[in-house]
Amino acid sequence: MNPTDVIRSTWLRWGGALMLALAAVVAGCGGSVGVGGTGSYASAPIEGFGSIYVGGIKYDDSTASVVDEDGAPSSRGALGLGMTVEVEGGAIGGTEAEPTAVANRIRTVSEIVGPASAVDAPAGTLVVFDQTVVVDAFTVFDASFANGLAGVPVGSNVEVFGSFDAAASRFLATRIAPRAGTLAAYKVRGPVNELDTTARTFRIGTALFSYDGAPPLLAEGAYLRVQTQTQAVAGRWPVSSVDAGVRPLPDLDRIKLRGAITRYASDADFDLNGQRVDARTASFIGRPGDLALGKVVVVDGASAGGVLVASKVRLDERGGSQGSVTLQGAIGTLDTSAQTFVLRGSTVEYGGNGVQFDGGDEDDLANGRAVTVRGNPTAGGTRITARRITFN
């Protein structure tokens, strides 16, 4: 099979009979696809600023409200690259290659909050709240961690954004940031396993939890957000609250999600970050058999009755556009000797081989000059290596 076939092969296309079956299923959920509205919803890590880029969509966030996952007010200034957000917006316009929309509400969602330990920079791992966290070339670190993973102090409280790899019982981080102050609780989000209703214990990832009473959402396989006390008792973390780990999708005709497969029955039936996906009529970009528990995918579709009915499923190897960062704004702190400048709070390196300039050249770089930078995080996750710089 040639490389194009490997990357772009399409499988699992169902015929008219299955289309009718899908219509019946959706009707049973209380409506047809798109009935809920013509707005948009995207859940994915932030991949750019100058507006906000989420799931490949450029959202104008100038009038958007920003909240944390509990609904408490936040600010646009608190948003950072690699931070997982849920964006509720208007109808998508622009072009297929560069879709645009207006963001109405942005909600931040993290996977773990707790103390860091066992930092192993050469291996690219650390432990946060008894959970193994893996970093890779696309993980972004807050600027306070100047040396990336090696700069994370053992014992410090951190917040991890990313996704849960249910196949390996570990988390893949897209962003790691400090959490200041004394934490009132630790937090983790993921599917429940090894639920023991006699011992009143369960696991999410590798951490063991204990609970009292009968939390109504607690069930084997349930995707939950669990908060605990900050001291373990006999190796178990006492649970203080249990909430749903995923919010019901609004009924909309444009939904885009990026995350890991947390339940896998087949290529046509799986959960993405706890969200059910019906992919029976979807087109797939990748190879048959590539989808599996723990794989990161991008899903486009429409939602009805809380189910994402996928039109397209793409395996995300975190390369190409999925590993890209887009920054728009005015250049600041230009250092021509180090060949760096600051844009939208990120340090951009432009001295690498193969950097392309549009509308000017390197000599045209100047503080205050408006540019668009497309690039990738450096291996340490603290800077952006430019691939293309466009003068606006």
Q: Where are the domains of the chain?
A: 1-109+247-323, 114-132+148-244, 324-391
How much is the CA Rg of the chain, to the nearest whole Å? 21
Predicted pLDDT of residue 286? 78
Helix (H) or strand (E) run with residue 17 in it = helix 16-28
- Which of 25-34, 304-313, 340-349 has the least mean pLDDT? 25-34
Pairwise CA distance, residues 348 & 311, whole Å: 36
Tell me the average pLDDT of the chain. 88
pLDDT score of 86 more than 70:
yes
- Strand, coil or helix: 36: coil
pLDDT digits (tens, 9 = 90+) for 193-233: 999 999 999 999 999 999 999 898 999 999 999 999 999 99
Q: What pTM, to 2 d.p., does this model score?
A: 0.88
* Pair 205, 170: CB distance under 8 Å: yes
Pairwise CA distance, residues 261 & 270, whole Å: 7
Q: Which of 81, 48, 131, 144 is nearest to 372 (CA)?
A: 48
**Domain 324-391, CATH:** 2.40.50.320
Predicted pLDDT of residue 37? 63
pLDDT score of 35 more than 90:
no
The pLDDT confidence band at residue 379, using thresholds 50, 70 and 90, is confident
Helix (H) or strand (E) run with residue 8 in it = helix 3-8
The pLDDT confidence band at residue 7, using thresholds 50, 70 and 90, is very low
Name all contacts of 360-366 with Cβ < 8 Å and 24+ positions apart: 360/391, 364/391, 365/331, 365/334, 365/336, 365/341, 365/389, 366/331, 366/334
Predicted pLDDT of residue 323? 57
pLDDT score of 6 more than 90:
no
Most confident of 37-46, 124-133, 321-330: 124-133
Pairwise CA distance, residues 293 & 289, whole Å: 11
Output the six-digit token pair for 217.
Answer: 């959402």
- Summarize the confidence of residues 114-134 as an average pLDDT: 97
Predicted pLDDT of residue 357? 96
Pairwise CA distance, residues 131 & 112, whole Å: 8
The pLDDT confidence band at residue 12, using thresholds 50, 70 and 90, is very low
Q: Which amino acid is at 126?
A: L
- Which of 20-24, 66-70, 129-133, 257-261 has the least mean pLDDT? 20-24
Share of the chain above pLDDT 90, in %: 79
Pairwise CA distance, residues 87 & 103, whole Å: 6
pLDDT score of 5 more than 70:
no
Predicted pLDDT of residue 137? 87
Query: By CB neighbour count within 10 A (0-12 exposed, 13-18 middle, 19+ buried), where does 261 fall?
Result: buried
- Which of 47-56, 140-149, 180-189, 281-290 has the least mean pLDDT? 281-290
pLDDT digits (tens, 9 = 90+) for 279-300: 999 999 877 678 999 999 999 9
The pLDDT confidence band at residue 317, using thresholds 50, 70 and 90, is confident
- Summarize the confidence of residues 321-350 as an average pLDDT: 90
pLDDT score of 387 more than 70:
yes
